[in-house]
């Protein structure tokens, strides 16, 4: 994941830490969406009332994209 953060940071002229912080902020906002599709995805990610990590969410999203492309 660090390589991803570094690559994005280079493209946008910021730091990897700032990229990770902004992704976390966006995920926090998304968690409170009342959209039914979003809620279904969050239900798959929350395990035993534990909030998923940024890495877990990004991995999940990558798998969804890969499935839809194949």
Q: What is the pLDDT of residue 41?
A: 82
Q: What is the pLDDT of residue 18?
A: 97
Domain ranges, ordered by start, for the chain: 2-69
Q: What is the pLDDT of residue 21?
A: 93
Give SS3 for 55: helix
C-alpha to C-alpha distance for 16 and 29, rounded to whole angstroms: 20
| pTM more than 0.95 | no
Residue 68: pLDDT over 80? yes
- Each residue's pLDDT tens digit, 3-46: 999 999 999 999 999 999 999 898 888 888 889 888 888 887 77
């Amino acid at each position: 994941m660090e390589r991803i953060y570094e690559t994005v940071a280079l493209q946008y002229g910021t730091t990897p830490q700032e990229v990770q912080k902004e992704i976390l902020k966006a995920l926090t906002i998304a968690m409170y969406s009342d959209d039914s599709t979003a809620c279904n995805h969050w239900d798959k990610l929350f395990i035993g009332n534990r909030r998923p990590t940024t890495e877990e969410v990004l991995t999940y999203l990558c798998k969804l994209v890969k499935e839809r492309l194949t």
